[in-house]
Amino acid sequence: MKTSQDPMTPNLFQVQRIRRELADTFTLELTAESNNEFPFLPGQFNMIYLFGSGEVPISISGDPAQPNRLIHTIRAVGSVTEGLKSCKSGDMLGIRGPFGSAWPVEQATGQDIVIITGGIGLAPLRPAIYHLLANRQRYGKIVILYGARTPADILFRKELERWRSRFDISVEVTVDQAVSNWSGRVGVVPKLINRADFAPEETTALICGPEIMMRFSVKALQERGVKEDHIYVSMERNMKCAIGFCGHCQLGSQFVCKDGPVFPYSQISSAFRIREL
Amino acid sequence: MVSVEGIDRMISEHPFFSGMEPGYQAMIAGCASNQSFEAGQYLIREGDNADHFYLIRHGAVAIEVHTQGQTSVTLETLHEGDVLGWSWLVPPYHWLFDARAIQLTRVIAIDAACLREKAEADHSLGYELYSRIMPVMSERLSAARLRLLDLYGSPRKGQ
């Protein structure tokens, strides 16, 4: 149940906890001042309003089965997100949402699932991973391929280790740069796709990360034979109103805030090829 | 530890040589041996003669470059099914980087001089070898270029 009917009016949420994830990345745990639950679908985002500073679109990174806690994982890259990084327990924030399309976790029932992600792109996919693991028996093979800049930049490291220790999913992590004390993989994420264990003709792929990484990952998936309309990508643009009015996030004929952020690749493949977009 | 037992089968099963005409596989097997390296052991040292190349059967190898007084940097890791080394194809046949086993690694080692000689005598074999190595080189060059972009580095100033 949404706490406000007007999508332009923020609802008050209180910061319960802030956890540092990486040097520039942190997670906020929020609860509604109204104590209402906050249901959302994996892949959706909120507009977070830091009073006196501004509003930013941030994907929800928590567990959709726990709607009493709203979790956002944020990278501090500008004035608003730097301000959010300085939040303390008890601070109040404005939240509008949830907005946008979701990862097709229901539609993908019975399929093998390949999750391809890099950097902070793991955060918008984490709710989908929680859902897949909570409903493990409904899916075929589950493969998570994650890339980070260095071993120190691996997001949700402990969770990745926990998922990796399960016998019913496959998790591969690779980094772009490392020194010799790192015993894991060094290389790019798309390279992991060639050797991953899944049945291409029965696979749904969920991709979130830098657009170049997504482009090369789509290419690698297509080379393996995954159908274009079974590949989903999460796009990032400059979302402002979040309801398709202002046009700031327009991508070709689509509004990323309203039609996305999760798109079937077949729906936006032409936009991927237009350099000016 | 070196062994030649079952080398024909190992070569035919390795992805790098999969689908190759059995006659060529047999020629390659004549230049091949089965080797294993403990974690931490070097397969290749920068500047040494590139007198072998390796097909990884199990394990993992880090391609490294060292700078005096600093910890070696890992450029890439190679795994089961990968091929390690192409300096054996490029005169003056010296390794450009180090390669270190990061876990117990089993490989098929191929004597480069032996294979170069066979490829020189049979250009069809040479063509077959190059047409398998070129895609690997292309893929690794493409991956190296992607990494130059520093995809996950700090984005331009945002919100």
CATH code where residue B31 lies: 2.60.120.10
Q: Do A180 and B64 touch (CB under 8 A)?
A: yes
pLDDT (tens digit, 9 = 90+) per residue, B10-42?
A: 999 999 998 999 999 999 999 999 999 999 999
Q: Do A179 and B146 touch (CB under 8 A)?
A: no
Flag whether B9 is in a domain.
Answer: yes
| Residue B67 Cα distances to A217, B72, B98, angstroms | 33, 7, 12
- A165 by DSSP, 3-state: which? coil
Do residues A189 and A219 both lie within one domain?
A: yes
Q: Read off the amino acid at residue B55.
A: L
CATH number at residue A85: 2.40.30.10
Per-residue pLDDT, averaged over A76-81, amounts to 94
Q: How far does B8 lie from chain A, in Å, by closest CA? A: 23
Per-residue pLDDT, averaged over A226-244, amounts to 89
pLDDT (tens digit, 9 = 90+) per residue, A19-38?
A: 999 999 999 999 999 989 99
Q: Do B157 and A77 touch (CB under 8 A)?
A: yes
Flag whether A267 is in a domain.
Answer: no
Residues of the domain holding A179: 112-234
Beta bridge partners of A72: A28, A60
Cα separation, A217 vs A194, whole angstroms = 10
ipTM of the complex: 0.86
Do residues A131 and A64 both lie within one domain?
A: no
Q: pLDDT grade, residue B1 (50/70/90)?
A: very low
CATH number at residue A122: 3.40.50.80
Nearest CA in chain B to A174: B77
Do residues A119 and A29 both lie within one domain?
A: no
Do residues A134 and A219 both lie within one domain?
A: yes
pLDDT at A8: 86
Residues of the domain holding B76: 2-148
Do residues A61 and A158 both lie within one domain?
A: no
Flag whether B159 is in a domain.
Answer: no
Q: Do A81 and B149 touch (CB under 8 A)?
A: no
pLDDT at A185: 96
Flag whether B157 is in a domain.
Answer: no
Residues 6+ away with beta carbon under 8 Å from A118: A146, A147, A148, A189, A209, A210, A213, B151, B152
Assess contact for B40 and B57: CB atoms under 8 A.
no
Do residues A121 and A229 both lie within one domain?
A: yes
Number of domains chain B contains: 1
More confident call, A56 vs A249: A56
Per-residue pLDDT, averaged over B52-70, amounts to 92
Assess contact for A242 and A57: CB atoms under 8 A.
yes
Flag whether A104 is in a domain.
Answer: no
pLDDT (tens digit, 9 = 90+) per residue, A169-204?
A: 999 999 999 988 899 999 999 999 998 999 999 999
Flag whether A84 is in a domain.
Answer: yes
Which residue among A99, A121, A150 closes a domain?
A: A99
- HSE at residue B6, side-chain half, CA atoms within 13 A, is 7
What is chain B's Cα-based Rg?
17
Do residues A225 and A117 both lie within one domain?
A: yes
